[in-house]
C-alpha cells in the first residue's frame, strides 16, 4: 500500500488516497485463502495460533513476523497475560446456519459492535454533539454542523442521476430509487419507493448477534464530556483551494433540490442512517513506527425512516489516522479501550480516542464508500462506489464520486488488463497496484455470490491476488461472502451487527485473527518519537 505521506499535496489526496486499498470495512486484506496464492505477512507457524486480546487481556507480541515486514524491536515493558477463555467451538462447516457470532467483548480493539455504544446517545443523529453519529461525520466533512445538512442532501441528490465519473468518463448506472427510498421519506412528501430490506432470517454467510442487547451492568452516569463540556463538534475545516483540474462535468454542483432547499436542523433526528460498528484498521499501517498508520472507520446502515427497517445499503466513512502518532501507539490505545469494562468506562476511553482522530485528522484524506442494492429499479445488482471530498467551482465542499483505483470497469479490455498485471506483478502481489485510469470502474457491481475476476494469460497466483484486492472480488467470490457485506445489520436494528464468515469464523484463518496478530505485533514495538504517555500499554 503506497504511503499517504508521499502525496504531493492535500488536494492531490482527493484522487490518490484510495491507492492500494480495496473497498469497505471487510477489505484491505491479504488474500486469498491459501499461502501458495498470496504473500502473507506471517508464515504458517506464526499465523497458526497467535494470542488474541479479549476485552482487557494483554497478549505477548508474536516473534518473527516474517521477512516482508520488519516491525522493529519489540518492547520488553509489557509482561504477557494469558488470553481469556472463549468456551466456543468452531462450526463444522461454513454453511452451518446455527453458527454463533463473536461476543460483544471479543475483538473490541478491532471492531466495536456493542449496541450500548454504537446504538447509544453518542451515535444519535438528533444530537449535534453526538460524535459517532452520521450527522457528526457529515458535519466534519462539510466543515461545520451548520453546513452538514445541505452538504448531505447535495451528495445524495447528485448520486441519483450520475452516469459517468472521472476524466475518462467511466460509466455508472443511475439509481432512480434514491429519492423515493431515502430523500423523500426523510425530508418530506409521501413519495415512497420500493424498499429493499434485510431479511430477519439467518443468512448462512453471516454470523448473527443476539436479538436483544445486554443491559448495562452499571448505574447510569452523566453523559461523557470533553474539555469540560459536551463533546465539541468538529472545528471549521480549511478546505484549501479548489482542485487544479477542471470539475468533473458528470458531477452535480447545483444547490440542494427543491423542496429541500431550506431545512431546519431538527430533521436530522429522522436521518435514515444508523451506526453499526466502529472499526480499527491499524493493520493497514506500512510499518510500526511510520506515519502511514491505517484508518478509523464508521460503518452505517441506511434505514427506512418510516418503518425503522434496515435497507440493503451500507455507508462507510473512512478516516486515515493522524500522523501525530505511530501505528504502534494507535494499536496500544485501542488495546487500552478494550481493557476497560464494558459500558460507560469503555465508551469514555473510545470517545477520547475517536475525538483525537477527529481533532487531528485531515478531512481531505477521508473517503466515503457505499455498498447497496436498495437504490436500483427492481432487484438490481449490488453496487459499490467511492466518494471523496472536493471543492466545486463555486468553492463549496462536496462529496464527489471517483473511479475505483483497483477495480476494472466491466467492459475493460482483458488483454490490456493482463498486460498491465504482468508488468506490475510485484506490486499486485504485495497488496495492489493502481490501475490506469482507462481501466478503472466507475462503480463495482456484484450480481453473483461467486463473482471473481478471470483474466486469461496470467498465473492463478497473480489472478487471485489481483481479484481479491478488487471491490467486487473482496465482497463476493474471493471471500465467499454471499450477501456482499462483511458487516451487516443484525436480525433487528437493536441487535449487534453481523459479521461475514470471512471476517470471523472462530478459526486461526479468519480475517479478524490475522488483524489481531498484526495489532499485537504493532503494539509491542517501541517508537522513539511517540509521546511518552503512549509508549506503554495502559
Residue 401 has pLDDT above 80, yes or no: yes
Residue range 398-420: average pLDDT? Answer: 92
Is 498:101 a contact under the CB 8 Å cutoff? Answer: yes
Provide the pLDDT for residue 390: 93
Q: How confident is the model at residue 90 (pLDDT cuts 50, 70, 90)?
A: very low
Q: How confident is the model at residue 102 (pLDDT cuts 50, 70, 90)?
A: confident
Please tell me the least confidently modeled range out of 1-5, 143-147, 470-474. Answer: 1-5
Q: Can you read off the three cell numbers belonging to residue 24?
A: 469497505
Output 376 or 272, whichever has higher pLDDT: 272
Residue 466 has pLDDT above 50, yes or no: yes
Pairing between strand 367-372 and 170-171? unpaired
Is 94:501 a contact under the CB 8 Å cutoff? Answer: yes
Q: How confident is the model at residue 369 (pLDDT cuts 50, 70, 90)?
A: very high
Residue range 276-290: average pLDDT? Answer: 94
Per-position b or e across 64-100, b if 16+ CB within 10 A of its CB: ebbeebebbebbeebeeeebeeeeeeebeeeeeeebe
Give the whole-angstrom CA distance, residue 212 versus residue 493. Answer: 10
Provide the pLDDT for residue 38: 21
Name the nearest CA neighbour of 287 among 532, 45, 47, 1.
1
Is 504:212 a contact under the CB 8 Å cutoff? Answer: no
Provide the pLDDT for residue 437: 92
Give the whole-angstrom CA distance, residue 254 versus residue 340. Answer: 47
Residue range 486-510: average pLDDT? Answer: 91
Q: Can you read off the three cell numbers belonging to residue 490?
A: 443484525
Output 13 or 115, whichever has higher pLDDT: 115
Give the whole-angstrom CA distance, residue 332 versus residue 336. Answer: 6
Could you count the other beta carbons within 10 Å of the beta carbon of residue 423?
Answer: 11
Please tell me the least confidently modeled range out of 86-90, 294-298, 385-389, 528-532. Answer: 86-90
pLDDT digits (tens, 9 = 90+) for 72-87: 333 333 333 333 333 3
Instruction: Please identify which residue in the block is written with the cell numbers 452520521.
Output: 134
pLDDT digits (tens, 9 = 90+) for 132-145: 999 999 999 999 99
| Residues 6+ positions from 333 with CB-CB distance below 8 Å | 325, 353, 534, 538
| Angle between helix 344-360 and helix 327-339 axes, rounded to 10 deg | 160
Q: What number of CA atoms fall less than 13 Å from residue 3's CA on the CB side?
A: 13
Output 434 or 531, whichever has higher pLDDT: 434
Please tell me the least confidently modeled range out of 96-100, 101-105, 399-403, 529-533. Answer: 96-100
Q: Can you read off the three cell numbers belonging to residue 269?
A: 433526528
Please tell me the least confidently modeled range out of 230-234, 324-328, 371-375, 394-398. Answer: 230-234
Percent of the chain with pLDDT over 70: 65
Q: What is the pTM of this model?
A: 0.73
Residue 327 has pLDDT above 70, yes or no: yes
Output 13 or 163, whichever has higher pLDDT: 163
Pairing between strand 310-320 and 273-281? unpaired
Output 289 or 66, whichever has higher pLDDT: 289
Q: Where are the alpha helices (DSSP H) in 321-373?
A: 327-339, 344-360
Please tell me the least confidently modeled range out of 95-99, 253-257, 485-489. Answer: 95-99
- Compute the mean pLDDT over every residue in the chain, rounded to the nearest whole number: 73
Is 20:433 a contact under the CB 8 Å cutoff? Answer: yes
- The alpha carbon of residue 429 and the mean position of all alpha carbons in its chain are separated, in whole angstroms, by 22
Provide the pLDDT for residue 22: 44
Residue ranges of domains in the chain: 4-69+104-228+266-526
Provide the pLDDT for residue 81: 35
pLDDT digits (tens, 9 = 90+) for 2-58: 433 343 333 333 333 333 344 454 455 433 333 222 222 222 222 233 334 444 443
Residue 282, CA distances (Å) to 333, 419, 478, 519 in order: 11, 33, 23, 7
Strands (E), 335-443: 367-372, 382-391, 397-402
Could you count the other beta carbons within 10 Å of the beta carbon of residue 122?
Answer: 22
Is 137:239 a contact under the CB 8 Å cutoff? Answer: no
Instruction: Return the percent helix, strand and coil in the chain, to nearest 5.
Output: 30, 15, 60
Highest mean pLDDT among 313-327, 366-380, 440-454: 313-327
Residue range 236-246: average pLDDT? Answer: 42
Please give the radius of gyration of the chain, using alpha carbons only, rounded to the nearest integer: 22
Residue 412 has pLDDT above 60, yes or no: yes
Output 96 or 385, whichever has higher pLDDT: 385
Residue 64 has pLDDT above 70, yes or no: no
Q: How confident is the model at residue 477 (pLDDT cuts 50, 70, 90)?
A: confident
Please tell me the least confidently modeled range out of 129-138, 207-216, 514-523. Answer: 207-216
Give the whole-angstrom CA distance, residue 87 versus residue 506. Answer: 11
Amino acid at each position: 500500500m503506497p504511503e499517504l505521506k508521499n502525496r504531493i499535496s492535500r488536494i492531490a489526496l482527493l484522487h490518490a488516497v484510495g491507492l492500494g486499498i480495496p473497498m469497505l470495512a471487510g477489505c484491505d486484506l491479504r488474500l486469498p485463502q491459501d499461502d501458495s496464492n498470496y504473500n502473507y505477512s506471517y508464515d504458517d507457524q506464526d499465523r497458526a495460533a497467535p494470542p488474541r486480546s479479549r476485552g482487557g487481556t494483554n497478549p505477548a507480541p508474536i516473534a518473527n513476523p516474517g521477512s516482508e515486514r520488519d516491525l522493529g524491536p519489540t518492547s520488553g515493558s509489557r509482561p504477557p497475560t494469558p488470553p481469556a477463555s472463549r468456551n466456543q467451538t468452531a462450526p463444522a462447516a461454513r454453511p452451518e446456519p446455527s453458527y454463533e457470532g463473536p461476543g460483544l467483548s471479543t475483538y473490541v480493539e478491532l471492531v466495536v459492535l456493542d449496541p450500548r455504544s454504537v446504538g447509544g446517545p453518542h451515535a444519535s443523529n438528533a444530537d449535534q454533539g453526538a460524535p459517532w453519529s452520521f450527522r457528526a461525520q457529515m458535519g466534519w466533512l462539510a466543515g461545520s454542523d451548520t453546513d452538514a445538512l445541505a452538504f448531505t442532501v447535495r451528495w445524495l441528490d447528485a448520486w441519483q442521476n450520475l452516469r459517468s465519473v472521472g476524466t475518462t468518463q467511466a460509466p455508472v448506472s443511475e439509481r432512480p430509487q434514491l429519492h423515493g427510498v431515502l430523500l423523500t421519506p426523510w425530508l418530506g412528501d409521501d413519495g415512497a419507493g420500493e424498499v429493499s430490506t434485510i431479511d430477519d432470517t439467518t443468512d448462512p454467510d453471516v454470523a448473527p448477534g443476539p436479538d436483544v442487547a445486554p443491559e448495562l451492568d452499571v448505574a447510569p452516569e452523566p453523559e461523557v464530556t470533553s474539555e469540560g463540556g459536551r463533546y465539541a463538534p468538529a472545528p471549521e475545516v480549511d478546505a484549501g483551494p479548489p482542485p487544479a483540474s477542471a470539475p468533473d462535468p458528470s458531477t452535480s454542483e447545483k444547490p440542494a433540490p427543491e423542496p429541500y432547499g431550506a431545512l431546519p436542523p431538527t430533521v436530522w433526528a429522522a436521518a435514515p442512517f444508523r451506526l453499526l460498528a466502529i472499526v480499527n484498521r491499524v493493520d493497514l499501517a506500512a510499518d510500526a513506527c511510520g506515519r502511514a498508520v491505517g484508518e478509523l472507520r464508521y460503518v452505517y446502515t441506511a434505514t427506512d425512516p418510516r418503518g425503522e427497517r434496515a435497507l440493503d445499503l451500507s455507508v462507510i466513512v473512512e478516516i486515515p489516522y493522524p500522523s501525530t502518532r505511530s501505528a504502534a501507539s494507535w494499536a496500544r490505545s485501542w488495546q487500552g479501550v478494550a481493557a476497560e469494562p464494558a459500558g460507560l468506562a469503555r465508551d469514555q476511553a473510545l470517545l477520547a480516542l475517536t475525538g483525537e482522530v477527529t481533532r487531528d485528522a485531515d478531512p481531505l484524506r477521508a473517503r466515503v464508500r457505499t455498498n447497496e442494492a436498495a437504490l436500483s429499479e427492481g432487484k438490481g445488482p449490488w453496487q459499490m462506489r467511492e466518494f471523496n471530498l472536493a471543492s466545486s467551482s463555486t468553492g463549496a465542499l462536496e462529496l464527489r464520486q471517483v473511479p475505483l483505483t483497483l477495480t476494472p470497469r466491466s467492459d475493460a479490455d482483458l488483454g490490456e488488463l493482463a498486460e498491465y498485471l504482468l508488468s506490475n506483478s510485484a506490486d499486485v502481489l504485495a497488496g495492489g497496484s493502481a490501475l490506469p485510469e482507462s481501466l478503472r470502474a466507475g462503480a463495482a457491481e456484484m450480481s453473483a455470490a461467486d463473482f471473481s475476476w478471470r483474466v486469461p494469460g496470467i498465473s492463478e497466483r497473480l489472478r487471485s491476488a489481483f481479484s481479491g484486492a478488487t471491490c467486487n472480488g473482496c465482497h463476493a467470490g474471493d471471500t465467499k461472502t454471499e450477501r456482499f457485506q462483511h458487516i451487516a445489520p443484525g436480525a433487528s436494528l437493536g441487535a449487534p451487527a453481523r459479521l461475514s464468515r470471512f471476517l470471523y469464523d472462530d478459526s486461526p484463518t479468519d480475517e479478524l485473527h490475522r488483524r489481531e496478530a498484526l495489532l499485537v505485533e504493532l503494539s509491542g514495538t517501541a517508537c522513539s518519537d511517540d509521546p511518552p504517555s503512549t509508549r506503554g500499554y495502559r
